[in-house]
């Protein structure tokens, strides 16, 4: 890692280490990288100038940036550092805290600006400095085309200032690309004839019988699953959001049945619907496919019965779900058609090379010729901006995209909280009168009953000048599975009710509380009880390991319990706890002794790197199984209940034991019980989203091990 060469950064480093700075987000090494990048920009401009007389940026700035001094450059670097540290794509410079200036001034430096307004003015002077470009929000049309300034995308300007939002240039380009795709969806909004609406309304009523919905004060309660399915039926792009147990996959299955019904009614001959089921992780993808297939068969049995003349959607589903990466690879992405510009922290971001038409416009293309009608993506909150742009750019224009997710969960690790930003943005959209009338005709509800469907929150999206002619957002409100103390705890976390959470779930004893659904153990690192209190739930699994149980039995038992950690390292981290678990059960499972970390029959492993040539990806969980005939060990990755990918261990480059994993790795999975361990020595990783995500991985029970101060930090973040 590079050293901090600039004196101001070294001084700030001391303040951060002494916790005297309120800027816990500062990634000082990223800041140094940015400072170096700015210097390189200045030097490159100097070398390419005819007169070759532009001095070094930090010594004698050229006339174009005379208003910018050394301290200003550092402020810019710190601002970009915040982007990196918080996985953001842009910063609102009008909302920056004044503590930033105070931290800089404390080191003896005086920026040329003292307010956010002056900062905005100073940045505007950099438009011709080859460091920052000021651009207007693009006039994006609805033809899936985006005018592209090739010079802007040549990496000569690392920063983009757009409507007082400061972007790293590649993320601004990605924002624009996604916005162009959104606008293009307006061309494919389907206005259904009244006769077809009436036919589909009859089917919808069979899928969601109104008599099955409770009456509240003699008023029929609105079935928001039915409303969301009907709403999505008419739109080329939909966001379906809701907490655990609100029926996102049930709604998706119902929608597929309705789409098939619409296809059959519109076609003169029976024709199938080509569907792909995706998720960021392999386990979430398998779970999505299994859930949708199960729900579809129930719907078809209820609606179609023994009618053998109707083509069934469940027979047209793919055999299983697949990861987003696997889908992109098949569609022609993630290959040589990408540029791979470096993030400031050294990670790679994928940006697809688009193609220009004769008018010089850039349009998304797809290299796949396979028919593709519907794509459903679960756990969409885990997708970063670059990955989302890659996905939409590779889909055919007529393909319907449906994103499922919970925007309260953890965002993507890489920059760009696309799903959450879309939920926030479209919460301010109003449905058109024609769309609302069609929705009323489909569902049988009045406009007054559907008023709640439209949210009144203001839009917060930075690129929101071009409104769409459809409303893609659907919010599911009623929980069917996630109830009792688990729901109460989740609601308290979402609302930030720290005191209420503590009073409700605090456990007075350090001993494991068997009788509670949700328990908070106020456990500081020095006072943490024996790990045995947390890992005893693995005894059933390791008994199966000792008896060399089958893959199916091991996989089923493994889903009963999972330890989730906030960090990889330290005594409360993933690596330490995994080692402890294997040591604890070593003598019980292997009387003759077994080296911890060595592969053995039943060992559960978590892949930490993509292996597209093997069909396994980062986050997939596999089980080491001994071959009965040869005693050789192979890793089995379940795809369905009957099928799995079998890989020799030597071909898996990076993996770890899977008994404990980070909360980030668990997103998209569910377990009967979870034990959550939040490290008090890594408070910068704690947040309400992290705690909420960990809690909602549990179906029946959740035990949370975290000290009081660390819990306060999580609720404040």
According to the model, what pLDDT value does residue 16 have?
63
Angle of the 248-266 helix axis to the 194-207 helix axis, nearest 10: 140
- The DSSP symbol for 659 reads S
The DSSP line for 111-170 is -S-SSHHHHHHHHHTTTTTTSEEEEPPP---SSSEEE--TTGGGTS--EEEETTEEEEHH
- HEC per residue, 204-238: HHHHCCHHHCCEECCEECCCHHHHHHHHHHCCCEE
Residue 699 has pLDDT above 90, yes or no: no
Q: Using CB atoms within 10 A of its CB, is residue 346 exposed (0-12), middle (13-18) or buried (19+)?
A: exposed
Residue pointed to by tokens 């917060």: 460
Rounded CA separation 450/429 (Å): 14
Q: What is the pLDDT of residues 1-37, one digit of tens each?
A: 346 666 666 766 776 666 555 455 556 665 666 666 5
Please state the rounded mean pLDDT for residues 406-424. Answer: 85
For residue 413, pLDDT beyond 80: no
If one counts every other C-beta atom within 10 angstroms of the C-beta of residue 8, the result is 22
Q: Can you tell me the distance from the alpha carbon of 415 to that of 520, in angstroms, rounded to the nearest whole number?
A: 32
Which of the two residues, 310 and 370, has the higher pLDDT score?
310
Angle between helices 539-546 and 551-558 (to 10 degrees): 170
Q: For residues 266 and 270, give the distance between their C-alpha atoms in angstroms, rounded to a whole number.
A: 10
- Tell which wins on pLDDT, 364 or 123: 123
- Strand 473-475 relative to strand 621-626: parallel, antiparallel, unpaired? unpaired
Burial class (CB in 10 A: 0-12, 13-18, 19+), 645: middle
d(CA 667, CA 546): 29
Tokens of 341: 């510009």
Cα–Cα–Cα angle for 201, 206, 209, nearest 5°?
Answer: 100
Q: Which residue would you say has higher pLDDT here, 63 or 409?
A: 409
Higher pLDDT, 309 or 418: 418
**Number of neighbours of residue 9 by Cβ within 10 angstroms:** 21
Lowest mean pLDDT among 149-158, 392-401, 507-516: 149-158
Pick the closest to residue 58 from 11, 104, 7, 108 (CA basis). 7
Residue keyed to tokens 């319907």:
400
Conformational region of residue 466, where left means phi above 0, alpha means psi within -120 to 50, and beta covers everything else = beta
In order of 105, 148, 219, 225, 335, the CA distances from 394 in angstroms are 48, 19, 46, 29, 13
User: Can you tell me the distance from the alpha carbon of 670 to that of 559, in angstroms, rounded to the nearest whole number?
Assistant: 7
β-pair partners for 660:
563
> Which of these, 485, 518, 474, 489, lies nearest to 247 by C-alpha position?
474
How would residue 475 be classed by pLDDT, with cut points 50, 70 and 90?
confident
Over 70: is that where the pLDDT of 414 sits?
A: yes
Rounded to 5 degrees, what are φ and ψ at 584?
Answer: -65, -40
Return the closest-CA partner of residue 637 out of 617, 656, 657, 653. 617
Closest CA relative to residue 240, chosen from 377, 432, 372: 377
Fill in the DSSP letter of residue 59: T
Q: What is the mean pLDDT of the chain?
A: 75
* Whole-angstrom distance, CA of residue 281 vs CA of residue 638: 13
Q: What is the pLDDT of residue 626?
A: 87
Please tell me the distance from the alpha carbon of residue 7 to that of residue 21, in angstroms, as a whole number: 16
pLDDT > 70 in the chain, percent: 68
For residues 251 and 225, is the Cβ–Cβ distance under 8 A?
yes
Q: Which residue is associated with the tokens 């969806």?
A: 185
Smallest Cα–Cα separation from 417: which of 460, 363, 465, 466? 460
pLDDT tens for residues 558-602? Answer: 989 999 999 998 888 999 999 888 888 887 777 666 666 688 888
Q: Are 102 and 111 in contact (CB under 8 A)?
A: no
| Helix boundaries (H) for 377-521 | 385-394, 418-426, 433-443, 484-495, 498-505
pLDDT number for residue 635: 92
Judged by average pLDDT, the poorest of 139-148, 293-302, 438-447, 629-638 is 139-148
Query: Residue 90: its pLDDT value, please?
Result: 81
Q: What is the largest CA-CA distance in the chain?
A: 84
* 580 compared with 212, residue with greater pLDDT: 580
Q: Whole-prediction pTM value?
A: 0.77
Joined together, the tokens standing for residue 636 give 């089995």
Q: Would you call 68 helix, strand, or coil by DSSP? A: coil
Q: Which helix (H) or strand (E) holds 588?
A: helix 574-589
Which pairing describes strands 275-279 and 473-475: parallel, antiparallel, or unpaired? unpaired
Q: What is the DSSP letter of 246?
A: S
Q: Which is higher by pLDDT, 354 or 276?
A: 276
């Amino acid at each position: 890692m590079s050293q901090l060469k600039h004196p101001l950064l070294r001084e700030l480093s001391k303040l951060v280490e002494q916790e005297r700075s309120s800027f816990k987000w500062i990634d000082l090494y990223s800041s140094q990288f940015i400072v170096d990048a700015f210097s390189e920009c200045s030097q490159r401009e100097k070398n390419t100038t005819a007169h070759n007389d532009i001095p070094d940026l930090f010594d004698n700035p050229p006339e174009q940036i005379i208003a910018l001094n050394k301290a200003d450059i550092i402020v810019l670097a710190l601002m970009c550092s915040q982007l990196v540290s918080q996985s953001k794509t842009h910063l609102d410079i009008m909302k920056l805290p004044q503590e930033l200036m105070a931290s800089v001034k404390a080191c003896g430096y005086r920026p040329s600006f003292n307010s956010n307004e002056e900062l905005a003015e100073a940045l505007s002077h950099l438009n011709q400095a080859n460091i920052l470009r000021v651009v207007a929000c693009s006039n994006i049309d609805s033809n899936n085309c985006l005018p592209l300034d090739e010079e802007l995308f040549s990496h000569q300007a690392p920063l983009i200032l757009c409507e007082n939002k400061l972007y790293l240039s590649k993320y601004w380009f990605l924002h624009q690309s996604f916005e162009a795709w959104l606008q293009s969806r307006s061309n494919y909004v389907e206005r259904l004839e009244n006769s077809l609406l009436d036919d589909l309304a009859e089917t919808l009523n069979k899928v969601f019988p109104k008599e099955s919905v409770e009456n509240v004060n003699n008023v029929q309660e609105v079935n928001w699953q039915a409303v969301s399915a009907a709403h999505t039926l008419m739109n080329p792009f939909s966001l379906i959001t809701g907490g655990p147990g609100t029926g996102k996959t049930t709604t998706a299955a119902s929608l597929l049945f309705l789409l098939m019904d619409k296809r059959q009614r519109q076609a003169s001959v029976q024709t199938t619907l080509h569907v792909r089921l995706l998720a960021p992780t392999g386990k979430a993808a398998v779970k999505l496919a299994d859930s949708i297939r199960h729900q579809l068969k129930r719907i078809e049995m209820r609606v179609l019965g023994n009618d053998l003349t109707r083509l069934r959607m469940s027979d047209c589903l793919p055999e299983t779900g697949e990861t987003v990466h696997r889908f992109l690879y098949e569609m022609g992405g993630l290959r040589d058609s990408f540029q791979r510009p470096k993030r400031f922290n050294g990670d790679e971001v994928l940006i697809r090379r688009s193609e220009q038409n004769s008018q010089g416009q850039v349009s998304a293309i797809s290299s796949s010729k396979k028919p593709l009608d519907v794509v459903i993506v679960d756990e969409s909150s885990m997708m970063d901006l670059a990955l989302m742009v890659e996905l939409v750019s590779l889909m055919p224009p007529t393909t319907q995209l449906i994103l499922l997710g919970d925007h309260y969960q953890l965002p993507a690790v890489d920059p760009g909280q696309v799903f959450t930003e879309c939920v926030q943005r479209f919460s301010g959209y109003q449905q058109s009168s024609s769309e609302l009338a069609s929705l009323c005709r489909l569902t049988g509800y009045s406009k007054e009953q559907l008023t709640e469907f439209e949210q009144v929150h203001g839009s917060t999206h930075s690129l929101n000048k071009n409104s769409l002619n459809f409303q893609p957002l659907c919010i599911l409100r009623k929980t069917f599975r996630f109830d009792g103390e688990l729901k109460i705890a989740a609601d308290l976390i979402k609302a930030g009710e720290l005191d209420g959470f503590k009073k409700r779930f605090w456990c007075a004893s350090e001993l494991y509380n068997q009788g509670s659904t949700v328990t908070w153990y106020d456990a500081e690192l020095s006072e943490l009880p024996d790990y045995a209190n947390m890992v005893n739930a693995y005894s059933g699994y390791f008994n199966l390991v000792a008896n060399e149980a089958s893959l199916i039995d091991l996989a089923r038992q493994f889903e009963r319990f999972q330890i989730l950690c906030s960090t990889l390292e330290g005594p409360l981290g993933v690596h330490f706890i995994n080692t402890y678990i294997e040591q604890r059960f070593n003598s019980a499972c292997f009387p003759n002794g077994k080296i911890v970390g060595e592969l053995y029959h039943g060992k559960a492993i978590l892949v930490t790197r993509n292996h597209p040539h093997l069909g396994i990806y980062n986050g997939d969980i596999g089980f080491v199984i001994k071959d009965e005939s040869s005693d050789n060990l192979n890793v089995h990755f379940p795809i369905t209940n009957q099928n799995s990918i079998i890989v020799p261990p030597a071909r898996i480059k990076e993996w770890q034991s899977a008994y404990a994993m980070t909360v980030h790795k668990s997103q998209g999975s569910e377990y009967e019980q979870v034990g959550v361990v939040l490290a008090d020595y890594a408070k910068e990783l704690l947040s309400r989203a992290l705690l909420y995500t960990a809690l909602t991985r549990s179906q029946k029970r959740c035990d949370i091990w975290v000290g009081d101060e660390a819990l306060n930090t999580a609720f404040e973040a």
